[in-house]
Amino acid sequence: MTIQTIIKKAIKRLELEGKLLTPDFYAEAFCKEAKKAGMDVEDCNHLGKFTKGLNKEFQKDLKQYRIKTMAEFVRYLVSKLNRTNPSKCSEILESQTIFIKRVLQVISALHNKEASLLAQKSIELINSQPTAQQLDQYRQLWVNFLTMYDDAFLNRLQNFGRVDVDDLKKTIENLNLNKESSKASKSEDMSRIISLLVSSFVPSIASSVNEKIAVFSDKIKNNPEVLQSDSIEKEIRAIISLRIALDKESVKEMVESLDGVLDKLSLRLIEMIEKSDSSTSEIQKIKAELELYNEETSSNFKIAHKKLFTIALALEQNTQSLSHDLKDHNDEVSALSQKVRQLESALEEAKQESKEDFLTKLYNKRALDEFLQMKEAEFERYKHNYSVVMFDLDHFKNVNDTFGHEAGDAVLSAFAKILKEEARSVDIVGRFGGEEFMAILSETDTEGGVVFAQKVRQHVEKARFMYKAKRIALTVSCGVAERKKQVSMQSTINAADKALYKAKNNGRNQVAFK
């Protein structure tokens, strides 16, 4: 191990122990790491050299006190020297302790929360007859406080006057915080608050302010000090409740007015449809009533009334010709409706009878179901095995979203051709639904089904699907299941489907089997 490695480990040890990078702490950590690495460093052996020169009594004391560093050794020697005059040593030690307590008491009274708290804890420590290790720990806390203390916050006060970092009292005295400016600022703030409060009393829907609200607003505007009275909260709550009540009443009137108009308009339209001969005169009545409502109801609903009036006017202009056209074409529409119903019925029958998918020209799901039933009957009677392979085009939705549905249809048709090419004459391939396809392989086990699926997968991967001179990259996932390994036909289909989803979840463009 190199010296550089030991240095790095020593610094890391100080970080883990929460100690600052001082010479003493570093030397102690360095020697520990050097000893741990089995390296003999001369600077770390000074203590051993010095202790050899002491008599056996002192060497015994060093072992008893577990002195391991030069700093501890020096403190030990100082204490021994001081004890050459015990009475004087005790007197000095007691005076130092009292002095330290008084200094800590002064610090705890200063205006720094962190220093005050640390001073109080230090006094408690001294009163509890601490060990040398505890004293050294608190000494380090004071070193950390002094090292990390930052008085930059005082610079924020420079805009208000001269800052004296050595005398906080002078700094406060120098600040331009006179009573007059404070009072004026407070007055401006109160004025803004009152203005905002008065604005909140104005109804948001009702067209006018209640007399009681207006009187109270003038009261607090002219006499802002009234906001400090005990009863003002109750009055404000009452005014707000009154404002809400005014808005609710106004909304109620408007809704009732509009509901009445809409009800009458609906009734008139129904009557017009039932009696088309008199539709024009009926709609004229509606227009007259709407004009009457427009004059009598709240002005806030003029826009709604205007729109309703426009509807009635348009109906008046077009209903007469519409009624005439409907009469002329009524028989023709009835005949066409009958033909449409007949065509729909015939189309439905044709769909039921058809076994071919209209897009891919493969067997559709209905045909696949019938073939499966036939294969199942052969299996039950003659034990003729078969396998089911499920195919699903990977990320087919992206094809539709990127190139359009026409491109998607072209891809489905191209894939159907690949299935036909790879299938044997005895195999059955069809479109199961959407981008999902099925192959029913006669006299085929799982291994044979996997071989067929891999051929299709590789063919798709190598094929060039082109649409409007753009190549569409495409892959397919496959799931294979064998009938002999399943309890029923349906369980075989389910097993192939589960294998398909396994291939999808494992990354797509692969064959999985059950």
Q: Which residue has the tokens 């071919």?
A: 356
Cα 501 to Cα 496: distance, rounded to the nearest angstrom? 9
Per-residue pLDDT of 417-462, as tens digits, reads 999 999 999 999 999 999 999 999 999 999 999 999 999 999 999 9
* 119 and 196 belong to one structural domain: no
pLDDT for 423? 96
Does residue 289 register a pLDDT over 70? no
- d(CA 297, CA 256) in angstroms, rounded, equals 10
Q: Kindly state whether residues 455 and 409 are assigned to the same domain.
A: yes
> What is the structure's pLDDT at 244?
83
Other C-beta atoms closer than 10 Å to the C-beta of 432 total: 21
Kindly state the percentage of the chain with pLDDT values over 70. Answer: 72
Rounded to whole angstroms, how far apart are CA atoms 86 and 75?
16
Q: What percent of the chain has pLDDT over 90?
A: 29
Phi-psi region of 469 (alpha: psi -120 to 50; beta: other; left: phi over 0): left
CATH label of the domain that carries residue 387 = 3.30.70.270
On whether the CB atoms of residues 242 and 200 are closer than 8 A, the answer is no
- Joined together, the tokens standing for residue 46 give 């000074």
Q: Do 113 and 36 have their domain in common?
A: yes
Quote the domain boundaries for residue 200.
184-254
Name the domain boundary from 93, 121, 148. 148
Q: If you average pLDDT over each of 137-141, 142-146, 172-176, 258-262, which comes out highest?
A: 137-141
| Amino acid in position 117 | L
How do 386-393 and 476-482 pair as beta strands? antiparallel
Minimum mean pLDDT range among 151-160, 187-196, 379-388: 151-160
Structural contact between residues 437 and 429, judged by C-beta atoms closer than 8 angstroms: yes
Q: Is 495 in contact with 486 (CB distance < 8 Å)?
A: yes
Same domain (yes/no): 123, 211: no
Do 132 and 229 share a domain, yes or no? no
What secondary structure letter does DSSP report for 442?
Answer: E
Distance of CA 503 to the CA centre of its chain: 31
Same structural domain, 428 and 508: yes
Domain end marker among 213, 237, 254: 254
Amino acid symbol at 188: E
Mean pLDDT for 264-269 is 66
Buried b (16+ CB within 10 A) or exposed e, 250-262: beeebeebbeebe
Quote the tokens at residue 2: 């190199």
Q: What value does the mean pLDDT of the chain take? A: 79
C-alpha span between 415 and 450 (Å, rounded): 18
175 within a domain of the structure (yes/no): no
Residue 220 included in any domain:
yes
- Of 256, 251, 262, give the one whose Cα is nearest residue 300: 251
pLDDT beyond 80 at 265: no
pLDDT of the residue at 348: 67
pLDDT of 399 above 90: yes
Q: Is 192 helix (H, G, I), strand (E, B) or coil?
A: helix
Asked if residue 143 and residue 191 are part of one domain, the reply reads no
pLDDT at residue 144 in the model: 79
Q: Is residue 305 part of a domain?
A: no
In a domain, 71, yes or no: yes
Among 92, 123, 148, give the residue marking a domain's end: 148
SS (H, E, C) 86-101: HHHHHHHHHHHHHHHH
- Does 504 lie in the same domain as 376? yes
Same domain, 16 and 102: yes
Q: Give me the numbers of helices (H) and strands (E) for the chain, helices first please.
A: 19, 7
| Contact in structure between 51 and 69 (CB atoms under 8 Å) | no
Rounded Cα gap, residues 474 and 400, in angstroms: 12
In this structure, is residue 351 part of a structural domain? no
Single pTM value for the model: 0.37
Residue 89 has a pLDDT of 58
**Residue 169 counted as domain residue:** no
Quickly count: other Cβ atoms within 10 Å of residue 439's Cβ: 28
Does residue 501 sit in the same domain as residue 380?
yes
User: Residues with Cβ < 8 Å from 30, sequence gap 6 or more?
Assistant: 6, 7, 10, 41, 44
Q: Is the pLDDT of residue 293 over 60?
A: no
Report the alpha-carbon distance of residue 122 to residue 138 in Å, rounded: 7
Q: If we measure between CA atoms, which residue out of 361, 410, 412, 419 comes closest to residue 390?
A: 419
Show the tokens assigned to 474.
Answer: 């495409």
Pair 51, 123 in one domain? yes
Q: Are residues 35 and 92 located together in one domain of the fold?
A: yes
Residue 375 · residue 386 · CB < 8 Å: yes
Dihedral sign of CA atoms 276, 277, 281, 285 in order: negative
- C-alpha distances (whole Å) from 37 to each of 34, 247, 331 are 5, 85, 108
- Which band of pLDDT confidence, cut at 50, 70 and 90, is reported for residue 243? confident
pLDDT in tens, 31-46: 888 888 888 777 777 6
Which is more confidently placed, 305 or 487? Answer: 487
- Number of structural domains in the chain: 3
Backbone angles phi, psi at 40, to 5 degrees: -95, 110
φ and ψ at residue 383, rounded to 5 degrees:
60, 30
Assess contact for 139 and 100: CB atoms under 8 A: no
The answer to whether the beta carbons of residues 441 and 449 sit under 8 Å apart is yes
Residues 6+ apart with CB under 8 A from 322: none
Q: Which long-range contacts (CB under 8 A, 24 or more apart) does 7-12 make?
A: 9/33
Q: How far is CA 381 from the centre of its chain?
A: 60
372: number of CA atoms within 13 Å, CB side? Answer: 23
User: What confidence tens digit (pLDDT) does each residue in 154-166 have?
Assistant: 666 666 666 666 6
- For 387-410, the DSSP string reads EEEEEEETTHHHHHHHH-HHHHHH
Position 319 scores a pLDDT of: 65
3-class secondary-structure state, position 429: strand
